[in-house]
Structure 1
Amino acid sequence: MSDLVFYTNPQSRGQIVRWMLEEVGAPYRTEILDYATTLKGDAYRAINPMMKIPAIVHDGKVVTEVAAICAYLADAFPDAGLAPALTDRADYYRYLFFAAGPLEMTFSLKAIQYEPPADKQRMFGHGNEALVFEALDRMLGDRDYVTGTFSAADLYLASELGFMMRFGMITGSPTLQAYVARCTDRDAYRRGQQLDTEAAEAMKAAVPA
């Protein structure tokens, strides 16, 4: 059994990695961190000095940043079939890091209700919100999945889009809505959601009245 530890909070982007771990199917241990206490403690700061979640430790190696964790797990557990062959990864990397770059920037700025001024948009690496979603509609318009079959790139991209739809940040075009629905119609996604729901409920129950 490999030594795989998952550090998360159920109300965080750790939900993406939880889904990835359930897709991979390897045994793992979950360490739930509280934002006000254990996330800032010395033990976790030794793993991630940024005090951000999620993170994994696999066979003694630390991996942080959601896109990096997804890519790492796809490579570490190739039998799960979550990454294409090395000779066919152009789209895989392109879409995975589009989600980690322009889409994540759009997500963050929208969460704080900030739109960069037109003369400053080129400094933000994503242009503007409209451009990002127009690009995604074009990029996904003629394909079911990024590389033809479901991969870690789809998992990450659909998670980011799904978060934005779930919290009312975007409605999403019919193309994007169909893509998210297609990607999340998986047993591993449902298992991950259930595990995080149970973890959130346990945390809530543990708080003194």
Structure 2
Amino acid sequence: MTIKELYDLLCDKSFQDPATGYLFFPAYMYLYEPEMEYHIRQEIQTMKERLVRPTDFVDVLALNIFDEFCQYLKTQKWGTSNWLEFILSEEAKNHTTVQTTIRQKANDRKFCEYLNYRIQSHLSEISDLKKSYVFVYGFGQIYPYLRASKFMNLFEGYIKEYKIILFYPGDAKKNYNLFKVLNDENLYRAIKLINE
């Protein structure tokens, strides 16, 4: 599925309904060649702009998972500062401990609750007449702290009233492979949309 075909699918009125789609679960993985990362990021913004025009009247919230994680860490207090400041100040001194802490924070349900709050706050600001998509990208940036498979396992219970499209730089044979090299678990409930 090319990026144009993905856009056409997102424009399809019957697909826009969160209750419809492949296997009736509103989560999709768009897989693409890792070297296309920056091109795909531009395409995400272009699709978002085109979908929100009055002719399509579809709302899109695009989230870079790495940027969202950094913002989440800023909201978490640690003494007189926050977790992001603490991690940055400790990284050189206690690299292994910091790596473990980041991984724990990224895989914590509180991060999912933060993302869900961000999404629900956004949805509450739009018209009930609009259909919504949430685009999530940046899995290459947040690796190795959070894998797409783990994110979906933690987050799937929050997906309501919108369809989520994860943009994944890699492939899927038996399992997903980030950058076509790093083995990830399979996401049985997310439908693969492969850029071929």
TM-score of the two chains, using structure 1 as the length reference: 0.34
Normalising by structure 2, we get a TM-score of 0.36
Greater strand fraction, Structure 1 or Structure 2: 2
RCO higher in structure (CA 8 A, sep ≥6): 2
Instruction: Name the structure where helix makes up a greater proportion of residues.
Output: 1
